[in-house]
């Protein structure tokens, strides 16, 4: 049985104080969504304090990124082991903003995946196509290549610990959303592609939708058989919206 998951990516938002308040509110209301795994991903600066706030709750903690290296002279970087030390159990990797603004490649992401598994962090691994790639009917080709060059390198045990997030890049922060049929089509394609390498294990992997998901469209998106939840951006900063999305199953 695949997990139903709603993960909130706070991105570069909130102060530590506001983050603690937001996490506390999510934890307090998490009992209303007992059948859904809630994950919050605050900025690095918040992880320890938010982790303390979430102790004893059903809400899991995630980082938004990690370093490619274990330790050393890498000013400004945060190692996966440091993240795990805060109580986090997940880490977002390959987000479109990381690929676009910071030049992350499959080579980079393979190193980060290895670091996550070495520190017992489960990756929330993002894939997705840009608008021009969809309009030129290359969206399946792009997403398949992203999976083949990274996730296909995982062992069966590592794959079992992985969550996939599909991001139609053209729908992130734009207010545009993939139609439910478009989301299902891509999610089904992703699952079929993963099955080429991992067989029936692909049936057990949660695939999240990550493109301007909000309380008004979540129910239609989550009603699709291969959409197992959402990676939520802006709406995760408002506790009522975040919980409303989780209640949409």
Catalytic residues: 95, 167
Report helix, strand or coil for 39: strand
What is the distance between the terminal CA atoms of the chain, rounded to a whole angstrom?
A: 15
Scanning 149-204, the segments in alpha helix (DSSP H) are: 156-160, 180-198
Q: Cα–Cα distance between 200 and 68 in angstroms, integer?
A: 30
Q: Which residues of 106-123 are buried (b: 16+ CB within 10 A; e: fewer)?
A: bebbbebbbbbbebebbb
SS3 207: strand
Which two three-digit tokens encode residue 3?
């997990």
Q: Which of 30, 25, 28, 4 is nearest to 14 (CA)?
A: 25
């Amino acid at each position: 049985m695949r997990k139903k998951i709603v993960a909130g990516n706070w991105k570069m938002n909130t102060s530590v104080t506001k983050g603690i308040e937001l996490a506390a509110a999510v934890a307090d209301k998490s009992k209303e969504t007992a059948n859904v795994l809630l994950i919050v991903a605050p900025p690095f600066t918040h992880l320890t304090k938010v982790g303390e706030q979430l102790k004893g709750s059903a809400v899991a903690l995630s980082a938004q990124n990690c370093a490619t290296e274990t330790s050393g002279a890498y000013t400004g970087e945060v190692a996966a082991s440091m993240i795990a030390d805060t109580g986090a159990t997940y880490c977002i990797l390959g987000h479109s903003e990381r690929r676009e603004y910071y030049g992350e490649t499959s080579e980079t992401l393979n190193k980060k995946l290895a670091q996550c598994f070495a520190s017992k962090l489960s990756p929330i691994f993002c894939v997705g196509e840009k608008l021009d790639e969809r309009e030129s009917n290359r969206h399946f080709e792009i997403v398949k290549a992203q999976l083949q060059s990274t996730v296909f390198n995982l062992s069966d045990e590592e794959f079992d610990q992985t969550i996939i997030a599909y991001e139609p890049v053209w729908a992130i922060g734009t207010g545009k959303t993939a139609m439910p049929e478009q989301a299902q089509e891509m999610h089904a394609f992703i699952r079929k592609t993963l099955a080429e390498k991992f067989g029936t294990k692909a049936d057990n992997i949660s695939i999240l939708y990550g493109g301007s998901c909000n309380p008004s469209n979540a129910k239609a998106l989550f009603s699709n058989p291969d959409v197992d939840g959402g990676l939520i951006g802006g709406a995760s900063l408002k506790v009522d919206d975040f919980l409303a999305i989780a209640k949409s199953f």
